[in-house]
């Protein structure tokens, strides 16, 4: 009986730590048909991340001087990183999307970092990028921009033609190959947002899951043999997750550029 109670207690501590991955309703709003407009902790932390990104660049722009301070220097480094490294290959035709890519990069990075900051339970901690709906939403935005560029710049016929065999292929060979090329390319276009969203979601939730399980074990076992190595692991893993937060924001943004660029220069 005592052993069963102990096992139940151990389970509750670990499960309690994993509770941070649950979406919790903060303000309940009646549904409109199948749509639930309730404000959850996921929504709140998305708002918080958006406000942090906005205020960072807004304040940096307002305080801009000839001799930049630390905040302005950081903002300029990020801007140069986005316009130079991330979007440099997209060219003048895609110049207007520089700031979209910078916003995506900064938003994902800030959201991941906020999720790593320890918070009291009363604040209902949550990491939005550990939710497939959030990452899918951002990926769909990139998908819509990509398709808009393709159809707007090349027309329906021209853009769809770029999904077929390249110019120069004899018609006798090209026509049968188009039966394969077109549906494969069509599926590839829809798999792009899927891969973007799943990659970001999977990497974020995996890291958080490991950290939260270890935290649950620390809370359960009041023994130096368990606490010391587990605590060291949590510290190292958290530091690694900061690096992962940057890498995942970078990969998502870079792939977004590649997809938009492929639509802008389709057929070239």
Task: List C-alpha distances in Å: 88 to 78, 96, 98, 147, 241.
Answer: 13, 12, 9, 20, 27
Virtual CA dihedral for 40, 43, 47, 49, nearest 10 degrees?
Answer: 110
Measured in degrees and rounded to the nearest 5, phi and psi for residue 36 equal: -105, 115
Q: Residue 268: pLDDT band by 50, 70, 90 thresholds? A: low
Q: Residue 23 — very low, low, confident or very high, per pLDDT cuts 50/70/90?
A: confident
Biggest alpha carbon–alpha carbon distance for the chain: 79
Q: Is residue 147 within 8 Å of residue 155, measured between CB atoms?
A: no
Asked if the model's pLDDT at residue 161 lies above 60, the reply is: yes
State the Cα angle at 57 between 51 and 59, rounded to 5°: 90
Which ranges constitute the DSSP H helices of 162-268? 171-220, 224-264
| Residue of higher predicted confidence among 94 and 49 | 49
d(CA 180, CA 183): 6
Q: What percent of the chain has pLDDT over 70?
A: 86
pLDDT confidence band for 227 (50 / 70 / 90)? confident
Per-residue CA distances from 115 to 157, 163, 203, 216, 231 (Å): 45, 40, 13, 17, 18
Check pLDDT > 70 for residue 199.
Answer: yes
Cβ contact 204:212 at 8 Å: no
Burial class (CB in 10 A: 0-12, 13-18, 19+), 170: exposed
* Cα separation, 139 vs 198, whole angstroms: 9
- Integer angstrom CA distances of residue 87 from 27, 81, 97, 243: 39, 8, 8, 21
Query: What is d(CA 142, CA 135) in angstroms, rounded to the nearest whole number?
Result: 11
Judged against a pLDDT cut of 60, whether residue 8 lies above it is answered with no
Give, for 9, the enclosing helix (H) or strand (E).
helix 2-18
Phi, psi of 166 (to 5 degrees): -65, 160
Query: pLDDT, tens digit, for every residue of 127-154?
Result: 889 889 999 999 999 999 999 988 888 8
* DSSP helix/strand/coil, 235: helix
């Amino acid at each position: 009986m005592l052993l069963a109670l102990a096992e139940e207690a151990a389970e509750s501590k670990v499960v309690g730590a994993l509770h941070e991955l649950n979406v919790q309703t903060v303000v309940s709003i009646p549904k409109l048909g199948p749509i639930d407009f309730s404000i959850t902790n996921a929504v709140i932390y998305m708002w918080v991340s958006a406000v942090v990104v906005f205020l960072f660049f807004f304040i940096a722009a307002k305080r801009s001087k000839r001799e930049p301070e630390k905040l302005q220097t950081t903002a300029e480094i990020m801007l140069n990183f986005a316009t130079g490294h991330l979007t440099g290959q997209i060219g003048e035709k895609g110049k207007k999307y520089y700031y979209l890519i910078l916003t995506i990069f900064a938003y994902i990075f800030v959201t991941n970092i906020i999720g790593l900051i320890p918070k009291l339970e009363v604040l209902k901690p949550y990491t939005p990028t550990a939710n497939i709906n959030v990452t899918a939403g951002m990926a769909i935005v990139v998908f819509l921009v990509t398709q808009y560029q393709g159809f707007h710049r090349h027309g329906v016929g021209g853009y769809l033609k770029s999904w077929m065999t390249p110019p120069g292929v004899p018609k006798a060979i090209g026509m049968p190959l188009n039966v394969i090329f077109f549906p494969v390319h069509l599926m590839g276009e829809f798999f792009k947002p899927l891969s973007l969203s799943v990659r970001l979601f999977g990497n974020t939730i995996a890291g958080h899951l490991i950290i939260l399980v270890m935290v649950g074990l620390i809370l359960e076992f009041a023994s130096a043999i368990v606490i010391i190595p587990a605590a060291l692991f949590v510290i190292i893993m958290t530091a690694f997750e900061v690096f992962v937060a940057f890498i995942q924001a970078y990969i998502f943004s870079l792939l977004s550029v590649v997809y938009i660029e492929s639509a802008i220069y389709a057929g070239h």
